Structure 1
Amino acid sequence: MTDKKTARESAGQAINSHHNNTLIVRRNVSNNYLDAPSQFRQAIIDAGLTPPEVIESDAVLHRFASNGTRRDQAGWYVFYADGVPAGKFGCWRTGMSQPWRADIGRALTADELAQHRARMNAVKDMRERAEREQRAEAAERAAQLVAATSPAPTDHPYLVRKGIAANGLLVGADGRLLIPMHDSTGALSSLQFIDAEGNKRFLTGGRVKGCSYTIGEPGETVCIAEGFATSAAIHAATGHAVVVAFTAGNLEAVATDCRKKWPKSRLVVCADDDAVTVGNPGRTKATAAARAIGGLLAVPDFGLERPERATDFDDLLQHRGADSVLACITAAKAPDKEPWAEALPLIDESVSAPYPLDALPGAIGDAVREVVDFVQCPPAMAACSALSSLSVAAQGLVNVSRGPDLIGPISVFTLTVADSGERKSECDKRFSEALRQWERDQLKLIAPDLANSRADHAAWEQERDAVRANIKKARAKGESTEEARKELAELEEGKPRSVREPRLLLESETAENLAWTLGRPDGWPSAGLLSSEAGVIFGGHSMRPDSIMQSLAILNKFWSDELLRVGRRTSESFEVDGARLTMGLAVQPEAVQTFFEKSQGLARGTGFLARFLFAWPGSTQGTRLYRDGPRHWPGLQAYQSRLRSFLEIPLKFDESDRLSPMLLAMQPEAFEIWRAFYDGVEREQSVLGELFDLRDVASKAADNCARVAALFHVLQHGPIGTIAAQDVAAAARIVTWHLAEAKRFLGELSLPLTISNAAKLEFWLIAVCHRQNVAAVAMRDVMNRGPNPVRRKEALQAALKELIDANRVRLTQDGRAIEINPALLER
C-alpha cells in the first residue's frame, strides 16, 4: 500500500513530467513589467540609438534625435502602457525598426496576442503615414534646392582632390555639391550634399533606400557602386554606366531595381573593401546585393603595397591607375553561394512527446502495443481508440466519485487530429470488434421480443387512435366524452413497455438525433460516437451557424450528465436523463480549423473542446513497410474478452427508468494523488502559469483524470471495489500528456493563416526532399502538387516570405526553385 508521502510524490511525478517531457513548470517570475517605459527606453539604447529622455505612453508616434544631435528627428517610437506593454521604435536615417513587448513570464493569451498584433499594425500605419509626409516634404524641398543650383565646375575642390569629373553634378550657392537622388520611377526624392572637404550629408527627412544617381548611358554592362567618387572612377576607367547607391546598405535595393530596368545587362556590383572595419560591411553588402540579383562581384585589388586607408575603386585609380580598375571590373565573377544563417523558429517548435504506453495497465496496454506493432499507426491514435471502446463498454455500469458532492460519469471524449491515411478506421475496427459483435448478437437474440413489442405498440396505437376519434365525434355532436376519456386514460396506463434496442455504436449523427436515439423509450441509453471521418460531424448539418449553439450544448450535457430537454416545433418534445455517451473522433487538421472559424469562438467558448482528450501525433506514413499479420493476438483478445464481459452485465435502472450506475470511490491514497493533480493543474491556470491560455481545457483535466482512472479500475477489477492509487497516478500521466497535446494544437490553431500555411509548406518541402534525395523543389511542383492552401500564387508568396525571413528556405537565383536550409533536412 502506498503511504501518503509516496502518494504525494507520485502525484508530483504525474503532474510535472511524462517521459521526461515537462509540461507544468512553476515559474518564479516577478511582475517587473510595471516599469515598462524604462525597459522600452533601455531597448532603444541596446539597439544603438540615443533614446529620448522621457517615453510618452500615449500610443502616438513621437520623433527624437536618434544620434543625440540637436534638431535631428530621425528617430521615432510609439509606446502602449496598458494591457501587456508594447511598442515599436526605429530610425528613418538607417531604416531600422524594432518591435518590443514586455516579458510577462508566459505566453500571451489569444486575446492578448490579437491586441498586440493590432497595435503593431497600428504602429505600422502611423509610421508609414509619417514617413510618407516626411518624404513628400523632403522631395519638395529637394526640387526647390535643385532649381537654385548651377552645373558643378570641374575645378571644384572635391572633384580636383578626387581626380574625377563632375558627371552632371550641381553646385549650390554655398559651394556644396548636390547629387540628385532618384527613386525607381526616376522621380527626384532627395539630395546628397558634399562640401569641399568631402563631408557628406543627406537632405533631412529625404528618402535613401532605393534611390540612386546614374553616370553614363546604360548598355551591355552596368556597374553599381556605393559613393559618387567611386562610381566616377569606375566610369572613367571602363566607360561603363555606373549607378550610385550612396550607401552599402542601399546596394541591394538599387541592384534589384537595376535588374528590373536592364534584365539582359551584365550587372557588376563594385564593392568597397573595408578590410580594417569589423565585418567588412562594404564587401559584405556588395556580395549580398550581387547574390540577390544573380549579378557579378568586383573587388578592388590593391596588390601587396596597399595604401593604409585605401578601400574603394577611386583609391585604386589613384594608387594603380585606370587599367587596374578596368581589370578588376572585367574579372568580376559571381559570388560564392551565401552560407546559410541559423534557421529561426517559424513557430514555437514542439513535437508530440512519446505517448506514455507504460501507463496503460494490463489488457489495454498489451492490446495497444499489439495493434501499434502490426497496424503501424501512431501509438496515441491506438490508445485513444482503445480507451474509447473501453468507455463505451463500461460507462453504463459505474459512476466515479471525486468527493461527496463530485460524482459523475466515466465516459470520455477523445479527439485525434491526423491526416487521412493514418489508419484510424483500422484502429477502431480492432478495438471495437467486441462491441459490434455483442450488438449483433443482442439484436439477433431479442428479434422475436422486438417484433412482438412492435406489434403490441401498433395495436395499442390503433386502439388509442380509435378512442381519440370517438372523443372528437362526441364533442362534435355535443355528447359526453367522460367514458371515452376514462378509456383513453386506461389505455395510456396500459401502454406496452418498449423493448430496448441495443445500439452501441454510432458514426454520423446530428446532435439532436443523437439525443433522440439515446433518450427514446426503446433506445439504448449508452452509446459511442466513433468516427474516423469526424469532418463529417464537425462540418455536418448540426454544426451550421443556425444550430451549432444547440448542438454543442447537447453534447456538453451528455459529457456532464445533465438533464437534457429538447423542444421541437413540428414534433413531440422529449427529455434525456442519465444517458451515457462516449465520443472517439479522428479529424484532419483543416477540418478542425474550418470548424473553429465557422463556430466563431463557440467551440472553445462553450467548453465543448475543453472536454476532449486531444491527440495530435506525428505521422507514420512513409515508414509502414509491409508486415505479415500475427497468427495470434493474445493481448487484443484478452482486451476484447474483458469488454464483452462488461456488456454482459445488465444495466440497472431506477423506478423512473433512468440509468442507475454503481458508484466507484477512490481509496484514500488514490484521492491524495488525484487532489495533488487537481491542485497542480489549478495553480498553473494562474496569470503566470503554463496553462493560463489553456484554462478551458485544464479546468476539465481533473475530471478526466478521475474518469480514466475509473476505466482502468473497471478493466482490471470489474465494476466493484475502490479505485487504487496506481490507477489514478497512471491516469494523471495520460491526462497530462493530453494536456500537452491540447496546448500544442490549440496554440497552432490560433496562428495567423500565413504562418500556418508556411508550416504546412515547409513540412511538405522537407518530405519531398527526403523522398527524392534533393535539396530544392521546383516552384511549379509546389503550385501543382503542394499543400492545397499554398497552391494559389498570393498564398504561396506570403508563406515563402515567412520561411525566407526565418532563414528556413531561399529561392534560387532564377526564382524557379526553393532551396531548403540543410539544417532542417538533417533533423
Structure 2
Amino acid sequence: MHGERPARQPSWNRASPAPKEASNKHIAPDTVPDLPFEVFSEAVYEVQRNIKSPRELAVCSALAMMSLACQGLYDVRSPLGNIYPLSLAIMAVAGSGSGKSPTLRALSASVFKYQEAILAERGLELTKYKSLHAVWFEILKAHKSNLRRCVKRGEATEEVARLICEHQDKEPSPPLNLLFLNDDVTVQALFQAMNGGLSSAGWISSEASGILKGGAFQHFDKINSVWSGDGVRVGRVSSESYQVLDARLVLCLMIQPSVFESFNEIKGDAARGTGLTSRFLFCRPKSTQGSRITDGSEERWDACERFGDRAVALLKEYVDGRRFGKCTRKAIRLSERASEIWNNTRNQIEKEISEDGAYGWAPDHASKLAENMIRLAAIFHIFEGREGDVSETTMRASIELGYWFSRQFNKVFSPDTMLENDASELHAWIRSNYDKKGERRVDRTYIRRHCPNRLRDSDRLEEIYEKLARDGLIRLVQEGKKGVVILN
C-alpha cells in the first residue's frame, strides 16, 4: 500500500556502534625540531639510534654539556645591551627505564673522563701542597717560639717579628679545586666547592629523584641569582661567610614523574613564586619502551666522541685559564639580522603576556623565554665553532627550539592542558579496556585501582570524569552505591 513504512529489521542483525575513539591528545606528537647544527645534531641522532631513548632526553643531555662547556668562557650581549650568562636550567621528566642514565652517559663520557683526570692531577698537587705547608708551619712555630723566648728575656723582638711577617707571606696556597661536575650534593655544598675553585660548574644528574626528595634542592633564591649571572653570598654561623662572585651554574635534572608531581605538590608554589620554575627548560617525553628493536649491528659512537672532544676542548681552555688567574669572559654578539629577529620575537612574546594572550596564564615563564632563546643561540654558535657574530640561521633555529620548550612547559604546567591530557589519557585507557573485554561499563572503583598510577587521586578523577562527560565521551551513572562509567 502507498504510504506504508517498511517493516523494521530485527536488531540482532545490526552491530552496535563502537565507542568513540580516544583522542590520545596526551601522546599527540610534538617532536623536537631538526636543527642546522652538525656536531649537536649528529650526536643526538647517534644516541637516539643506538640507545633508542626519547630524542628529547638526548637533546637535554647535549644542551647541558654544551652549556657547561661554554658558560665559563663566554656570555652573550643582547641587542638591548644586557649581558646574559650561557647557563641553562633543564628538567626532564621521564619514567624508570626510559633511558635517562645511558643517554646522559653517552653524551657526557668524555667530560667525565676529563673531570677524573684533572681531579687525579689535583690530588697529586694537593699531596705536595700538604707537605710544603707542613714544613712552612713548623718554621712558623719555630719563629713564634723564638719570639716568646725574646719576650720572656726582655730582648728585642723587632727582627723576629719581621721574620714572622715575611714567613706569613710565604704560606703555600692550596691548589685550585677543579671540581666542575656535581651530582648528589646540596646547594650549600655546591657553592662551597665553587668558592674554593672553579666558579663555573654543573649540577647534573640522570637520577635526580634523591636530590628533590632529600631536600638538597632548596635555596631557590641563590639558584635564581646564579642563573642570572649574579654573585651569591653564603652566610654561616659556625664559620666564616663567603661570597661566590660571577658564578655560572648549569642545571640538568632528570626525574621520574611521580617524584616531580610530589615535588610540585609540596614545593611547586614556592618554586613558581620565586621564579625558579620559569627559568627551566622542561620536557616530558613519551617513553620508547616497546619499540626499541635492534638489528644486531655494531653500535658506532663517532659523533658522540666528536661532541665530547669539542666539549672537553672548551672546558680545558676554561680550566687552564683559571689556573693562571684568567677570569674574564668574552661577550658574544648577534648579527644585525639576528638582532632584529630576536627583538621582534621578544616583543611578540611580551604582547602575549596580557591577560587574554597566549602566555596570560604564565607571565613568569614568558618573561624568561626570549632570554633562554638568546642563550641557546650563543651556545650553538660557540659549540659549533662558528666565527663572528651569531647568524640569522642560528637565531631562528634557537627561537624554534625555545618555542618547542615553551610548548613542553605548557604541557607540564597549564591547568587546562593538564586536564585535557589527563582526560585524554584516561579515556584512552578505558577504551583499551573495552578493546580487550568488549565491555562499555566500567566500575569506578576498578578504574581508581587500575588506571595509570598518576591519575588515581580521587579528586583528580572526579575532574576528569566531568571533563569527559562534558565532551560527550562517557556517561556517569549510579547503580545503588556503585558508580559506573559508560563509554559513549
Q: TM-score range by the shorter chain?
A: 0.7 to 0.9
CA contact (8 A) 1:713 1:723 kept: yes
**CA pair 542-446 structure 1, distance change in 2 beyond 3 A:** closer
**CA pair 480-552 structure 1, distance change in 2 beyond 3 A:** farther
Structure possessing the higher relative contact order (Cα contacts under 8 Å, 6 or more residues apart) = 2
* 1:119-165 CA-partner distances (Å, limit 9, x unpaired): xxxxxxxxxxxxxxxxxxxxxxxxxxxxxxxxxxxxxxxxxxxxxxx
**CA pair 659-470 structure 1, distance change in 2 beyond 3 A:** farther
CA contact (8 A) 2:68 2:202 kept: yes
- The one of 318, 328, 331 equivalent to 1:660 is 328
Matched AA of 1:641: D
Matched, 1:456 2:132: yes
**CA pair 444-350 structure 1, distance change in 2 beyond 3 A:** closer
**Deviation for aligned residue 1:735:** 0.6
**Mapping for residues 808-819 of structure 1, pairs under 5 Å:** 808-809=473-474
Matched, 1:635 2:303: yes
**Mapping for residues 315-326 of structure 1, pairs under 5 Å:** none
**Deviation for aligned residue 1:804:** 4.6
What residue number does 2:86 align with? Answer: 410
- The one of 181, 187, 191 equivalent to 1:515 is 191
* 1:721-776 CA-partner distances (Å, limit 9, x unpaired): 32222111111111111111112211149968xx8875664455456667x58666
Matched, 1:527 2:201: yes
**Deviation for aligned residue 1:461:** 6.2
Listed as ranges, the gaps of 5+ residues in structure 1 are 1-303, 306-332, 822-827
CA contact (8 A) 2:87 2:375 kept: yes
**CA pair 588-632 structure 1, distance change in 2 beyond 3 A:** closer
Matched, 1:421 2:421: no
What residue number does 2:385 align with? Answer: 717
**Mapping for residues 377-396 of structure 1, pairs under 5 Å:** 377-396=53-72
**Deviation for aligned residue 1:355:** 1.0
SS in 2 for 1:541: coil
**CA pair 706-470 structure 1, distance change in 2 beyond 3 A:** farther
**CA pair 773-471 structure 1, distance change in 2 beyond 3 A:** farther
SS in 2 for 1:437: helix
What residue number does 1:697 align with? Answer: 365
Matched, 1:536 2:210: yes
What residue number does 1:369 align with? Answer: 45
State the identity %. Answer: 27
Matched, 1:555 2:230: no
The more displaced of 433-442 and 804-813 is: 804-813
**Deviation for aligned residue 1:363:** 1.0
**Mapping for residues 215-226 of structure 1, pairs under 5 Å:** none
CA contact (8 A) 2:46 2:301 kept: yes
What residue number does 1:647 align with? Answer: 315
CA contact (8 A) 2:224 2:276 kept: yes
SS in 2 for 1:693: coil
Matched, 1:624 2:298: no
Give distance in 1, aligned partners of 2:160 and 2:437: 86
Give distance in 2, aligned partners of 1:782 and 1:496: 69
Give distance in 2, aligned partners of 1:376 and 1:740: 23
**Deviation for aligned residue 1:360:** 4.7
Give distance in 1, aligned partners of 2:150 and 2:454: 69
CA contact (8 A) 2:22 2:427 kept: no
What residue number does 1:69 align with? Answer: none
What residue number does 1:29 align with? Answer: none
Give distance in 2, aligned partners of 1:716 and 1:779: 54
**Deviation for aligned residue 1:456:** 3.4
**Mapping for residues 16-95 of structure 1, pairs under 5 Å:** none
**Deviation for aligned residue 1:658:** 7.3
Give distance in 2, aligned partners of 1:339 and 1:768: 16
**CA pair 463-788 structure 1, distance change in 2 beyond 3 A:** farther
The more displaced of 658-667 and 779-788 is: 779-788
SS in 2 for 1:723: coil
Matched AA of 1:497: S
What residue number does 2:234 align with? Answer: 566
**CA pair 658-700 structure 1, distance change in 2 beyond 3 A:** farther
Matched AA of 1:353: D
Listed as ranges, the gaps of 5+ residues in structure 2 are 6-10
Give distance in 2, aligned partners of 1:515 and 1:538: 18
The more displaced of 575-584 and 796-805 is: 796-805
CA contact (8 A) 1:388 1:583 kept: yes
**CA pair 811-340 structure 1, distance change in 2 beyond 3 A:** farther
Give distance in 2, aligned partners of 1:491 and 1:480: 19
CA contact (8 A) 2:474 2:486 kept: yes
**Mapping for residues 663-812 of structure 1, pairs under 5 Å:** 663-717=331-385, 721-748=388-415, 761-762=426-427, 764-765=429-430, 782=447, 784-788=449-453, 800=465, 803-804=468-469, 806-809=471-474
SS in 1 for 2:333: strand
For this pair of structures, how many residues does the alignment match? 475
**Deviation for aligned residue 1:513:** 1.1
What residue number does 2:30 align with? Answer: 353
Tell which structure's C-alpha radius of gyration is larger: 1
* 1:438-487 CA-partner distances (Å, limit 9, x unpaired): 11222334442232123334555677789899999999xxx999999877
**CA pair 803-492 structure 1, distance change in 2 beyond 3 A:** farther
SS in 1 for 2:105: helix
- The one of 235, 239, 260 equivalent to 1:592 is 260
Matched AA of 2:414: G
**Deviation for aligned residue 1:789:** 5.3
Give distance in 2, aligned partners of 1:424 and 1:587: 9
**Deviation for aligned residue 1:362:** 0.8
What residue number does 2:109 align with? Answer: 433
**Deviation for aligned residue 1:606:** 1.1
**CA pair 435-819 structure 1, distance change in 2 beyond 3 A:** farther
Give distance in 2, aligned partners of 1:611 and 1:446: 34
CA contact (8 A) 1:748 1:756 kept: no
**CA pair 403-492 structure 1, distance change in 2 beyond 3 A:** farther
Matched AA of 1:449: E
Matched, 1:579 2:247: yes
**CA pair 344-750 structure 1, distance change in 2 beyond 3 A:** closer
SS in 2 for 1:705: helix
SS in 2 for 1:354: coil
What residue number does 1:329 align with? Answer: none
SS in 2 for 1:414: strand
**CA pair 464-802 structure 1, distance change in 2 beyond 3 A:** farther
SS in 1 for 2:328: coil
Matched AA of 1:628: G
Give distance in 2, aligned partners of 1:464 and 1:535: 49
Give distance in 2, aligned partners of 1:728 and 1:500: 37
**CA pair 489-810 structure 1, distance change in 2 beyond 3 A:** farther
Normalised to the residue count of structure 1, the TM-score between the two structures is 0.50
Normalised to the residue count of structure 2, the TM-score between the two structures is 0.82
Q: CA RMSD in A?
A: 4.3
**CA pair 688-491 structure 1, distance change in 2 beyond 3 A:** farther
Matched AA of 1:722: D
Q: Higher helix proportion, which one?
A: 2
Matched AA of 2:393: Q
**CA pair 617-794 structure 1, distance change in 2 beyond 3 A:** closer
CA contact (8 A) 2:27 2:286 kept: no
What residue number does 1:503 align with? Answer: 179
What residue number does 2:8 align with? Answer: none
